[in-house]
Structure 1
Amino acid sequence: MTITSDTSAPLVAVVGATGMQGGSVIKALAASRKPYRIRGFTRDTSKPAAKALSAQGVEMVNVSLTVDNKDQVFKVFQGANVAFIVTNFWEHFDKIRETAEGKMLIDAAKAAGVRLLIWSGLISAVEESKGKFVHVDHLDGKAEVTKYARSIIPAGGPTRFLNVIAGLYNTNFHLPVGLPRKQADGSFVIALPAPADSVVPSIDTARDYGLFVRKVIEEDVDPSVRDVGAYGEFISYADMVKQLSEITGKTVTYKEVTSDEYVAAAVAGGYPQRIALELSEMYQGIAELGYFGGTEIGNGNGKDRLPVGVEGAFTWAEWVKATDWSKILA
């Protein structure tokens, strides 16, 4: 079904329309058998990505989603039936800003009277670890927004709030701090501050995240469900590198390193010290607490009560096969 302008179709407002998650949501809705009107938000409608979406029928709105532009932000949500909201910590590395903007977006969607508000949140590292991991701002800021949304959107009210948590991005292993490092003998090593048998929910975010969002829009999710995990499969780091080796024909191994070693390597690779520490604590926290922490989603330990599954979401191996590794494993 193509995107429509028919006013009988529900209007879905999408934050981050040209980004990885928002773009995935639009792609999934455009491929649905059901018609949707889609309003996408961007800071620059003249950019190629925004123009491409506009050509597909998306109503692209030029708006800065910052607190100092609050009045305009509230206006652009008006008329929407469904809202998808995501914030981007990595754009500015500022937890206070991310939290303030996230809360404002929640307020704007609620004020617009949307029937369904879908938020891309994460667990709180500091709360789940009882104060052990205190530097994971990109988790804690989003968790604060989640808590705020639940405080102002009561269960059973006119607006339904759902937190669709993206799993660990497969593309993290294309970034300098997760990249396979070439060794003197021609082999490659992925080094993280976590045991090789740590199990994580992997996701091809650009391809599959939107499928989970579409499913909670189109299907009746049990009223008791508050969190939905978006991932293709639970898999250990050991199995990741094993499958990567088998599929690419390259020798790739996994090495558990200390936090200090990981941080030093990240800083040497150009990351600020505090961001390197943040990423180190993130990987340690995932290993110790489980990616989804104490939510009902579970941690791949046989007690997984994932309320929403999506057929066709890529496994790690499927993503590896579909990915060009020629430059990364060169």
Structure 2
Amino acid sequence: MIAVTGATGQLGRLVIEALLKTVPANQIVAAVRNVDKAADLAAKGVLVRQADYSKPATLASAFTGIDKLLLISSSEVGQRAPQHQAVIDAAKAAGVKLLAYTSILHADTSPLLLAEEHRATEAYIKQRGVPAVLLRNGWYSENYTMGVAAAIEHGAVAGCANDARLATATRQDYAEAAAKVLTSEHQAGKVYELAGDTAFTLTEFAHSISQLSGKKVVYQNLSEADYVALLEKVGVPGPFAAVLGNSETGAAKGALFDDGHQLSALIGRATTPIVDSIKAVL
């Protein structure tokens, strides 16, 4: 039995779909906060169980009989460490044989603020002695392509990453990797640094948008403070805007780059180029 937490989220749904290609639906558990949102998964034969990171009592029943568990990191920045610890404790109590955790690229050395809770989670997994595999995911291409329409409208991509190279991949790429690990043997103890095969700078990203859309788009490099202020101006909550600004600055230090090609090796194909992701949005 394989369980996926956060199964109705953007990544979780893709992992479930990838698993369904090789695993019978009745051997997959969608562990979700709101079971009503998983009606489509239930219709496919996937078992749906309530599992709320903030309600440990729900986790014990959700993980009963589970052999392998994918812990997709919580989206609640600042609350991740205690939420993840509750999942790890429940997995330990349930006798889960393999815990796969979606961490962040080079979590042990990353300068990103986002890495702190991932490091804490990795340390707790080790402390509790749960057999585990770490999926250290790099940045999602969607983090950038979600802003393509605005970039075309304003003629600019804004950021504070300077000329950093960003080795992104799509959620689909990362989801297929997670499914591959969950359906493979001898994964406990492994650490995967997962990133896209082809990296790009934000200047190159803007140029690609220009070429594909026919509208002039340039990259506008700002200071971290100015970039955070811009994000807040367009409606991004202050604390999260600060995290995004810090991430861009971290990228300038190489935090979002890796050329080990472990992701493409896992999924058996090249990762999705950013140009293809831009095309899909357009």
**Shared fold (TM-score greater than 0.5)?**
yes
Counterpart residue type for residue 203 of structure 1: A
Moved over 4 A (4+): 123-127, 174-179, 220-224
Report the counterpart of residue 42 of structure 2 in structure 1: 54
Which residues of 2 match residues 97-108 of structure 1 at below 5 A? 97-108=79-90
Count of residues in correspondence between the two structures: 279
Report the counterpart of residue 190 of structure 1 in structure 2: 157
> How far apart, CA to CA, are the structure 2 residues paired with 1:223 and 1:14?
17
Q: 2:199 aligns with which of 221, 234, 252?
A: 234
Aligned: 1:201 with 2:167: yes
> How far apart, CA to CA, are the structure 1 residues paired with 2:61 and 2:278?
42
Higher helix share: 2
Partner deviation per Cα, 1:45-65 (whole Å, 9 max, x = no partner): 223xx1111111111113432
Q: 1:309 aligns with which of 248, 266, 278?
A: 266
Report the counterpart of residue 75 of structure 1 in structure 2: 61
Matched residue of 2:31: which SS?
strand
Report the counterpart of residue 119 of structure 1 in structure 2: 101
> How far apart, CA to CA, are the structure 2 residues paired with 1:290 and 1:257?
18
Contact kept in structure 2, 1:15 and 1:41, CA below 8 Å: yes
Aligned: 1:322 with 2:280: yes
Matched residue of 1:190: which SS?
strand
Contact kept in structure 2, 1:13 and 1:83, CA below 8 Å: yes
Task: Specify whether residues 152 and 63 from structure 1 end up closer, same or farther in structure 2 by C-alpha distance, changes over 3 A only.
Answer: closer
> How far apart, CA to CA, are the structure 2 residues paired with 1:225 and 1:178?
39
Which residues of 2 match residues 193-272 of structure 1 at below 5 A? 193-196=160-163, 198-205=164-171, 207-220=172-185, 225-231=190-196, 233-272=198-237
User: What is the root-mean-square deviation in Å for CA atoms of aligned residues?
Assistant: 2.7
Displacement of 1:123 after TM fit?
5.4
Displacement of 1:126 after TM fit?
10
Contact kept in structure 2, 1:123 and 1:143, CA below 8 Å: no
Task: Specify whether residues 200 and 221 from structure 1 end up closer, same or farther in structure 2 by C-alpha distance, changes over 3 A only.
Answer: farther
Aligned: 1:15 with 2:5: yes
Counterpart residue type for residue 247 of structure 1: L
Task: Specify whether residues 222 and 127 from structure 1 end up closer, same or farther in structure 2 by C-alpha distance, changes over 3 A only.
Answer: closer
Stretches of structure 1 lacking an aligned partner (at least 5 in a row): 1-10, 154-158, 293-298, 326-330
Displacement of 1:127 after TM fit?
6.1
* TM-score of the aligned structures, taking structure 1 as reference length: 0.75
> How far apart, CA to CA, are the structure 2 residues paired with 1:271 and 1:314?
28
Displacement of 1:227 after TM fit?
2.8
Matched residue of 2:49: which SS?
strand
> How far apart, CA to CA, are the structure 1 residues paired with 2:87 and 2:2?
14
Contact kept in structure 2, 1:162 and 1:226, CA below 8 Å: yes
Displacement of 1:168 after TM fit?
1.3
**Which structure: larger Rg?**
1
Stretches of structure 2 lacking an aligned partner (at least 5 in a row): none
Q: 2:74 aligns with which of 88, 94, 98?
A: 88
> How far apart, CA to CA, are the structure 2 residues paired with 1:275 and 1:285?
15
Higher relative contact order (CA 8 A, sep 6+): 2
> How far apart, CA to CA, are the structure 2 residues paired with 1:125 and 1:229?
11
